[in-house]
Amino acid sequence: MNNENGRQENTMTDDSRFAKQLRFILELDKEKTILRQTHLTGYRRQENDAEHAWHMGVMACLLKEYANEPFDLARTLLMILLHDVVEIDAGDTYAYDPDAVKTQREREEKAADRIFGLLPEDQAREFRDLFEEFDRGDTPEARYAHALDNFQPILLNDANNGKDWRLHQVGRQQVEKRNARTHEGSEKIAQAVQAIIDRNVEKGNLKP
């Protein structure tokens, strides 16, 4: 019995494939501590990265009929779950902070090297490729995922009467620029985004 327990302990702690996967799983727990600028509905507190990814995943399933192109839902869901894990090291980059955006790519590439490097080589390559695919936005899955990534915080901002937009003095052009490619993933979502932007400009939540 002692030998069996010893074998189980070794399986959990050595450099085996399973141990590397467990280290990655535990590393991802840190994503729950990365706060975004967007607040939860009711403005109760800031949303974290893990909540953002979960919300996007549910949206991907619910709104799949509005994707412009046929796409692989399972692939898209994994892409969504992975798209912000680099922020464990790089931190959240606020979309409307031009200074932070300038260094975003460099910070996230370095983080991707370390975090995906925790995995067995084949999975590290698979997950890194999905992360890079999302960044490029050049597949049906990535285009749809990008549309959702843009739409989700806009929904929360709208539900909170634009408080975060007003706090950061965000203007119409900034949000429209951020969503310039949303229509590539979903025309329906792009139309909804534009309606929200127009409404919040009228209400004074976004600068004209």
Q: What DSSP line would sit under 52-102, residue for residue?
A: HHHHHHHHHHHTGGG-SS---HHHHHHHHHHTTTTHHHH----TT-HHHHH
Q: Is residue 93 part of a domain?
A: yes
Q: Is residue 152 part of a domain?
A: yes
Cβ(27)–Cβ(118) under 8 Å?
Answer: yes
Contacts of 72-81 with CB under 8 Å at 24 or more apart are 72/140, 72/141, 75/130, 75/141, 76/141, 76/144, 76/145, 78/127, 78/130, 79/130, 79/131, 79/133, 79/134, 79/141, 79/142, 79/145, 80/53, 80/56, 80/145, 80/148, 80/149, 81/53, 81/57
Q: Is residue 208 part of a domain?
A: no
Residue 155 has what pLDDT?
Answer: 98
pTM (2 d.p.): 0.91
- Residue 180 identity: A
Containing domain of residue 77, as a range?
Answer: 2-202
Q: How far apart are CA 86 and CA 103, in angstroms?
A: 14
Q: How many residues in the chain?
A: 208
Mean pLDDT by 10 residues, the chain (208 residues): 51 77 98 97 97 98 98 98 97 92 95 98 98 97 98 98 97 97 98 98 98
Q: Is residue 15 part of a domain?
A: yes
Q: How far apart are CA 167 and CA 25, in angstroms?
A: 35
Residue 15 has what pLDDT?
Answer: 79
Residue 111 has what pLDDT?
Answer: 97
Residue 206 has what pLDDT?
Answer: 98
Total domains in the fold of the chain: 1
Q: Look up the CATH number of the domain holding residue 143.
A: 1.10.3210.10
Q: How far apart are CA 173 and CA 208, in angstroms?
A: 8
